[in-house]
Amino acid sequence: MFVNLLWLYWTCSFHLTPLCQYRYNASGLMKIKFKIWMEQDGSVAFAEGRRMLLEAVDRLGSLNAAAKELGMSYRAAWGKIKATEKALGLKLLDVTTGGKGGGGAKLTHEARKLILSYNNYVNKMSLIVEKEFKLMFKQK
């Protein structure tokens, strides 16, 4: 299944929320902080934490190991994956059960495309938010 940003835009609500956490550094300049997440029917469909979870599964080859690395239970991680799959209508993991060689999990092609689209979107929004912040608050 092909995942593109336009499809995600029309099927989910994107939220871009400035946290308005202005911090002065040595030069007196402020920085803007923000979060982006996607919602479906009022529930989180995909966000930074789920991206991190999928990337950890990709690196470690196991949802259990990824959950442990991120300090969450396997059940919580599995629930987040299932909720995202349901909201987006995508299969994110190919899972094999344990046995002689042990179980494991791999990202599907759709999961990789989702991560790529999400990262590209966040990067583009970061540039836009930073540019607008500098204009609005006269920062260089």
pLDDT of residue 136: 82
pLDDT of residue 133: 86
Which domains does the chain carry? 5-136 (1.10.10.10)
Phi, psi of 44 (to 5 degrees): -65, 130
Mean pLDDT, 10 residues at a time, over the chain (140 residues)?
Answer: 47 52 54 88 93 97 96 97 95 85 89 96 92 77
pLDDT of residue 15: 57
| Helix/strand/coil for 15 | strand
pLDDT of residue 94: 93
pLDDT of residue 29: 65
80, with CB counted inside 10 A (0-12, 13-18, 19+), is buried
| Helix/strand/coil for 106 | strand
CB 5 within 8 A of CB 117: yes
